[in-house]
Structure 1
């Protein structure tokens, strides 16, 4: 029987979603007669250590995955469970995405005092978020709002809503769902108002490219519609050289081909905005090739000046 060591961040959410993934893999293994057992290894990442600086100022990519990926390369763990939105576009040589399980809710969630919606927030309300993407779109929708950075795990950010005089904070709905705190959500922000981060709501199960046992097991965990959507979003990300430190978002939906063909139809919407929300570029395109779709939407935004916006933000 093989013992599979699973690497994860040590936050409550990371441990919860890793535990859920492991339980599903146990069921898959049992159904296919694969003998294995799992052990979870907690790993601290740079993004976990630096909590007093906004993500856009910490810089670099892979803030929440590099140390875990190194453990994979060193053979200390056999697979890793990441939030897909934390994954840089390029993976280290020797590592691959072994599976993309079915996506949770990709939307952003608003948690407010008095359970208010975005439209019901008072003039000049103070909203907390560590994401330039969320801040840009929120300022575009409500220029009167005051945005301040708030970092930390879900629990600490929710606590700041009560203790630090925030009127609202923005979090990924998927994390709140996975941890069982749906009742804290005051309103879901539709993609038309706040386009999610690339891969938001999806998990990335990473392993070594040469580990045939893991690739076989994880292949049975793959959810193809989610994987297709994520491929389109990540192609968009790669073309724009995006990351946590830029106001960029993308979301792909998957449906059956309208022509009755075997290939599913994807619709990808991408956005790039200025941090203050005064300029907001968006494009939506449909197609069947996820990578080609991601590149096309990115190129349409570049033609409108997205590359200049992103260059200014990085500087």
Structure 2
């Protein structure tokens, strides 16, 4: 039986509701892919509004069914997979970015944590029992509780080795308060999923992980930021804002402390990655065999397509 947008069954398992919910969210996410390209498109505030639409769809009626979601693992996995795609659109990333990296950079807590927050608000009485000012305090309290739950989950052994997670966790609260722009090329450098030899080799776009700009054996995001001599001039500007420690943790910490540091990192990423992209296209034009190399899991690298690790 369908009642107020919820599909009910005799056992109140909500399995049919979850199946229909996933289908609706898939359609919405598919539409967002056309509206939110990695290059150009709406600014971050608009992307957050679109993400809020998907979040509202996913959590509609959550106080009623959220206790069942944990027992329906397949549906939960699917819903979180769709959330990853939305988070990737928010941060303008490639579709190979992991769930943890995408949601952290987007400051978009996992939906299974958010549905627990929704249930807690209802148990507190919901909007019918409190004036707007009190309800806002309750919402902030539950938001902090959700962030605390998320932080505790990310500190677990399962995620501790992940590069982005380990770099961001020391500045987790500052990131949740962030109001600065995230660009397509900044996301590439922060996640390591972008125009780097190591990544291109991993997805089948390059035969080796060698750096074409300095000959180093391993061209990854950290090599580009910290070591490659081809970007010495750009790096000097970055060092003036960040300091000589250019580890990802130090860079993220400085970015979240000062607006000028954030803009310096954005400018470095835009300048350097554009040059790497230009050089890569030139190599493809000069080597027809390179153009025919299969793109692996990520096609359209030259014309970015938003896109699981």
Q: Which has the larger radius of gyration?
A: 2
TM-score by length of 2: 0.28
Higher strand share: 1
